[in-house]
Structure 1
Amino acid sequence: MKSIAVAGVAAMAVSACATVPGANVAPGSPITAEEAQVGAQYHEQFVAQFGGEMTGPYASYVDQIGSNIAVQSGLAQDRNAFDVTLLNSSVNNAFAVPGGYVYATRQLVNLMNNEAELAAVLGHEVGHVAARHSARRQAAAQRNQIGGVGIAILSSILLGDNPLGETIARGALQGSQVLTLSYSRNQELEADALGVQYLKNAGYDPRSMATLLQSLAAQNQLDAQLQGRDNATIPEWASTHPDPASRVQNAVQLAGNNTGVTNRDTFLSRIDGMIYGDDPEQGVIEGNQFIHPMLRFSFTAPQGFYMINSPSAVSINGDAGQAQLTTGAYNNNLDTYIRSAFQAIGGEQQQLAPSSIERTTVNGLPAAFGTARVNNGQQQVDVTVFAYEFSADQAFHFQAITPAGQSGTFNSLFSSMRRISASEAGSVIPRRIDIVTAGGGDSVASLAQRMAYTDGQEARFRVLNGLSGNDQVVPGRKYKIVVRAN
C-alpha cells in the first residue's frame, strides 16, 4: 500500500471505446497507430496501479532484455519501439498491452535464475500481444456486456476466489486491469509457444520457458504453505495465467533438443541488491502484522488469516471472510466517509448503506463503523466499513465481508489499528537479494540459514534458486539469498 493510495483506477480504454483496438488485426502484424495510442494513453495508470516505475541499473537491464526479445515478435523492427517497465511490486506479475508496452515486477524478476528465464517471461507476455489475445478477450467481453472486468482478475489476488469477496472487489477494483483480461488455456499455450520461438530466434536456451514455469509453480505452492492455505492457485502469476505447473511439460516439448545461452552469472550480478518482498515505502508484512513506516500505522491480522500487500490496498484473507484496508478522500467527517465507502462498494448495481454508524476510539484514534446486510447472489453477507481518522484530511478504513451474523470475525483486526512511533518506523529495514558464492563447506542448509526469515528458510532458498528437493549447492556456483539491508 503506497503512501498515497486510492483504491482502483479509472476505467481503461476498452470500457470507453465502441471498438477494441487490435481485435480485427491479424496475429503477428506490426503495432498499429491505434494500438500505440491506447498503450500510451493508459501507461501511467498501469504504472501507478502496480507500484510505480523503477529506474536505474535494474530497470535498464530489464528494458534491454525485454526490448531485445520483443523485437523477435515482428510487432516492430526497432527495439526502441518497445517500452519495458520494471514495476516496484512485491507480487509475481508480468503483462504486456497493445502498443509495445511490456511490464514485469521486481518480485518476478527476483524469482528468475538467469537471463534466458527473464527473456522467456517477457517473451511470453509479448506473445499475448502479438497474438492479439487481450483484444479478442475484450471484444468478447463487450459483446457479452461485461462491465468492470478487472474485478475478476484482482479479486483472486486481493480477496480470493471465494464469492464473499465479490462485493468488496467491485468497489475497490472497478475498472482496473481491463487491458489484461484473464487468458484461456489455449491462449496461454499459444503465448508459451511464441515465447519459446522468440527465445530460439534470440539465441537463448528455449528450455528456460519450462524452468521459469517450474519456479512460478513452486513459488505458488510455497506461498500457499506459508500462508496456511490448502491450494496453491492464489495468488498466481498476474492472476491471469492459469496454473503454470500444468504447462511445464508442454514447454519442454516445445523446446525440444535445442540449446542456447542462459547468461546466469550476468543475470545474477545485475539483480544483486534489488529489494525483495515489500518495499517499506508501501508498507511491509511481518508475520501477521502489517507496518507502514511512512504513514506511521500498524495493525495485526487475526489468527488463521493471511495478508497480501498491493499498491492500492492491503487484503486480509481467510475461510471465514475477507477484509481490505484502503483509503479515500476525507474531509474531517467519518460518517460521510463511511457512507461514501459503502456507495463505492455497492457501485451502480447495488445501493449499499449502513444500517447505522457508531462512533468509538481505537488506541487513541477517532473511529467509526457501520454494517450492511446484503445478498451477494449466493448467500446473505455482512459488509462492514471500519474507519479511522488520522488527521483532518486523512482517513483509512477496513472494508470487510463475512457470512451474515459473523461480522465479529474481524473485531480483533479493527481494534489492532494503531499509530507507531518514529523509532518503530525507523526500525523497518527492507529485504534485498544478495548474490553469494557457495564455498567448499557450504550446503543448502548453511546458505538457507542466512535467509532473513524466521520460517521456511530452506524452502524459500530452494524455490528462490530453482532447486528441487534433492538438489544440492555446488561449490563455486553463485546463489541468491535474502538479507536485511538498507
Structure 2
Amino acid sequence: MKLKMLLALGASLATIGCAAGGLTGDPGSRSISQNAQQAAAQQHPQVVAEFGGTVDANRSAYVAAVGSKVAAQSGIQGGGSGAYTITTLNSPVLNAFAVPGGYVYITRQLLGLMDDEAELASVLGHEIGHIAADHSRGRQNRGLLTQLGALAVGILTGSGDLAQLAGTVGQGLFLSYSREQEYEADALGIRYMSAAGYDADASASLLASLGAAENLDNRIAGQDQRSVPSWARTHPLSEDRVNRATALAGQVQSAGTGIRNRDQLLNAVDGMIWDDDPAQGVVRGNRFLHPDLRLAFSVPQGFGIQNGSRAVSITGSNGQAQFSGGAFTGGLGSYIGQVFQALAGGQGQINFPPPQSTSVNGIPAAYSTARANTSQGQLDVTVFAYQWDPDTVYHFAMITPAGSGIGPFTSMVGSLDRLSASEAASIRPRVIDVVTVRSGDTVQSLASRMAYDDYKLERFLVLNSLSANSQLTPGSKVKLVVYGNR
C-alpha cells in the first residue's frame, strides 16, 4: 500500500481494450497490431503503479535481455527487437502475465523462486506464447485495470466470488485461459526457449517449484495469512501439466543439454527483496505494518491478509474487508458517504444511517453500517474511517453477513494504531542472500538462518528446489532469505 491511495478502487481505473486480439497478418508474417500496442502502452504506467513499480534497472535489464532472446523465436515480426515489452514488477506475489499488445510482466517474487536462467526463459516463453497464439482473440476480456477494481462493484452486486475478488485485489484478475490454451502456451514456450539455446527441461522444473510453493503457502496460510499465489489461480498447476512439460521437453534437442546459466540468475537475485517491500507495508503474521506511514493493525485469527499497492485486502469465511485511504477535505461523515458511493460503483445508491463518532487509540473515527441487497442475498456493508492527520483519512470497508455489522472485524477496527519511530525503524525487508555451501553445511543448518519464526526448513527447501535429505556440495550456491537494511 503506497503513501497516497485512491478513495476506492473502482473510482478511476481505465480499461485495456484489446479483447478482439492482438495480432495481424497471415501466419508466418504476423505482427502485433498497432491498436493493441497503443492500448497496452497507454495502460502500462498504471499496471506498473498497481504492482508497486519496477525493480532496479540492472535486474530489469537482465530479465528483458533473456526475454528478448526467447521472443526472437516467436515468429512475430520484430520479436527480438521491440515487439515485446518485458517488465519486472516490484511485487511480492508469485505471478507472471501477458497483455495483448506485446506486454509481458513478471514479479520479483517469481524471479527469486527460480533456480536458473533457463527457468526464467521458460516462464517468459510461456507468456510470449499466449501473445503469439493470440489467445485473447474472441474472449470476453474486461480490461486489466477494470478488473483490479472489481471488488468495489462486485461486493455489492454479487458479481463474482467475494473471497476470490478480495484475495486478488492488488494482484490483478487476468484473462483466464482454457486448459488447452495453457498447454499450447507451455508447448510454445518450450519451443521458443529451446530455439534460443536453453535447456527445455527447465519448464517442468519451474512448474514443479511453483507447485511446491503453492503447497507450502496452503500449509502455512493460517499463520502467514497469505492467499494462494496468483500463478496458481491464473495458470492452474497439476501433476499432469508437469508431466506434459517433461514429455514436450524430451522431444527437443536441448533437453538436458541446453543453457541453464544458474550463476547468472543467482547473481541477478542476490540482494533482491523477498516478500513485502517495507515501502509498501509488510505482513508479519496477522499484522500489517507500514513503517513509512507509521501505522499498524491486526486481523482476526483465521483471516488472510493480501497487501496491494492501492489497498490491503482481508479475507475470511465470515467476511471480507479492505483497508485504504484518501485525502481529508471535510468531515468524516462526508468521507464515509463518498466511500459508500464509490462502493456502489454506479449500481445505485447505498442508504446508510448517520455515522457514529468514536475514538480508536486516540485517533478520531466514525463508522456506519448499511444493508445491501445483492444476488447473494443481503449483506452488511460497514465503512469505518479514521482521521489520521489534518490531510489524511484511512478506512476499512467491510462486508459481513446480514445482521453481523462490524461483528467479525471488531478487534481489527480497534487495533489501528500509530507506530513509534523506533518500531518503524525496526521493520526491515527480507532479502535473498546467495551463499556458498561450506564443508559441513546441511539443509538443516542453512535453513536455521532463514529470517522467519516458522517453517524455516520448508521455506529453504522450496526456495532452492531441494528435499530434506538432499546432500549439499561444498562450493555450490544456495539462496537464503535474511533480514536486510532499509
Return the TM-score normalized by structure 2.
0.89
Structure 1 counterpart of 2:46: 45
2:211 counterpart letter in structure 1: A
Structure 2 counterpart of 1:408: 407
Structure 1 counterpart of 2:208: 214
Partner of residue 93 from structure 1, selected from 54, 76, 95: 95
CA shift in 2, pair 1:398/1:115, >3 Å: same
Q: Is the 8 A contact 2:150 2:165 kept in 1?
A: no
Partner of residue 235 from structure 1, selected from 219, 229, 252: 229
Aligned to 1:59, what secondary structure does the other structure show?
Answer: helix
CA shift in 2, pair 1:297/1:185, >3 Å: same
Structure 1 counterpart of 2:380: 382
Structure 2 counterpart of 1:12: 15
Distance 1:112 1:147 in 2: 28
CA deviation after TM superposition for structure 1 residue 396, in Å: 1.1
Identity %: 49
CA shift in 2, pair 1:351/1:249, >3 Å: farther
Distance 1:150 1:331 in 2: 26
CA deviation after TM superposition for structure 1 residue 177, in Å: 5.3
CA shift in 2, pair 1:310/1:472, >3 Å: farther
CA shift in 2, pair 1:244/1:400, >3 Å: farther
Distance 1:405 1:289 in 2: 27
Distance 1:267 1:394 in 2: 42
1:277 counterpart letter in structure 2: D
CA deviation after TM superposition for structure 1 residue 221, in Å: 1.4
Distance 1:240 1:167 in 2: 13
1:61-94 alpha-carbon deviations (Å, 9 max, x no partner)? 1111112212211223353303221111111111
Q: Is the 8 A contact 2:22 2:131 kept in 1?
A: no
**Residue 436 of structure 1 pairs with residue 435 of structure 2:** yes
CA deviation after TM superposition for structure 1 residue 356, in Å: 3.3
Aligned to 1:181, what secondary structure does the other structure show?
Answer: coil
Q: Is the 8 A contact 2:430 2:484 kept in 1?
A: yes
CA shift in 2, pair 1:206/1:418, >3 Å: same
Return the TM-score normalized by structure 1.
0.89
Distance 2:210 2:42 in 1: 31
1:182-212 alpha-carbon deviations (Å, 9 max, x no partner)? 2221111111111111111011111111111
CA shift in 2, pair 1:26/1:89, >3 Å: farther
CA deviation after TM superposition for structure 1 residue 296, in Å: 1.0
CA shift in 2, pair 1:243/1:384, >3 Å: farther
Superposition pairs of residues 144-163 of structure 1, within 5 angstroms: 148-150=146-148, 163=161
CA shift in 2, pair 1:251/1:151, >3 Å: farther
Structure 1 counterpart of 2:306: 308
CA deviation after TM superposition for structure 1 residue 464, in Å: 0.6
Aligned to 2:264, what secondary structure does the other structure show?
Answer: helix
Q: Which moved more, 1:33-42 or 1:234-243?
A: 234-243
**Residue 451 of structure 1 pairs with residue 450 of structure 2:** yes
Distance 1:27 1:278 in 2: 43
Gaps of 5+ in 2: none
1:353-377 alpha-carbon deviations (Å, 9 max, x no partner)? 3233111111111111111122331
Q: Is the 8 A contact 2:166 2:314 kept in 1?
A: no
Query: Across the two proteins, how many residue pairs are aligned to each other?
Result: 470
**Residue 277 of structure 1 pairs with residue 278 of structure 2:** no
Distance 2:167 2:209 in 1: 29
Distance 2:195 2:235 in 1: 24
Distance 1:84 1:162 in 2: 30
1:113 counterpart letter in structure 2: D
Superposition pairs of residues 85-164 of structure 1, within 5 angstroms: 85-138=87-140, 148-150=146-148, 163-164=161-162
Q: Which moved more, 1:349-358 or 1:127-136?
A: 349-358
CA shift in 2, pair 1:94/1:363, >3 Å: same
CA deviation after TM superposition for structure 1 residue 288, in Å: 1.2
**Residue 341 of structure 1 pairs with residue 339 of structure 2:** yes
CA shift in 2, pair 1:149/1:49, >3 Å: closer
Superposition pairs of residues 155-304 of structure 1, within 5 angstroms: 163-165=161-163, 180-228=174-222, 234-237=228-231, 239-243=233-237, 245-256=239-250, 258-259=255-256, 260-304=258-302
Distance 1:4 1:200 in 2: 45
Aligned to 1:73, what secondary structure does the other structure show?
Answer: coil
Distance 1:265 1:166 in 2: 38
CA shift in 2, pair 1:104/1:168, >3 Å: closer
Aligned to 1:474, what secondary structure does the other structure show?
Answer: coil
Structure 1 counterpart of 2:3: 3
2:462 counterpart letter in structure 1: V
CA deviation after TM superposition for structure 1 residue 220, in Å: 1.3
Aligned to 1:228, what secondary structure does the other structure show?
Answer: helix
Distance 2:229 2:167 in 1: 15
Q: Is the 8 A contact 2:380 2:399 kept in 1?
A: yes
Q: Which moved more, 1:426-435 or 1:323-332?
A: 323-332
State the superposition RMSD in angstroms.
3.0
CA deviation after TM superposition for structure 1 residue 318, in Å: 1.8
Distance 2:226 2:291 in 1: 30
Aligned to 1:304, what secondary structure does the other structure show?
Answer: coil
1:306 counterpart letter in structure 2: G
2:283 counterpart letter in structure 1: I
Aligned to 1:384, what secondary structure does the other structure show?
Answer: strand
CA deviation after TM superposition for structure 1 residue 168, in Å: 6.7
CA deviation after TM superposition for structure 1 residue 109, in Å: 0.4
CA deviation after TM superposition for structure 1 residue 24, in Å: 7.0
Q: Which moved more, 1:194-203 or 1:129-138?
A: 129-138
Choose between structure 1 and 2: higher helix proportion: 1
CA deviation after TM superposition for structure 1 residue 447, in Å: 0.6
CA shift in 2, pair 1:233/1:213, >3 Å: farther
Distance 2:333 2:191 in 1: 57
Distance 1:371 1:13 in 2: 34
CA deviation after TM superposition for structure 1 residue 152, in Å: 6.7
Distance 1:90 1:470 in 2: 29
CA shift in 2, pair 1:455/1:233, >3 Å: closer
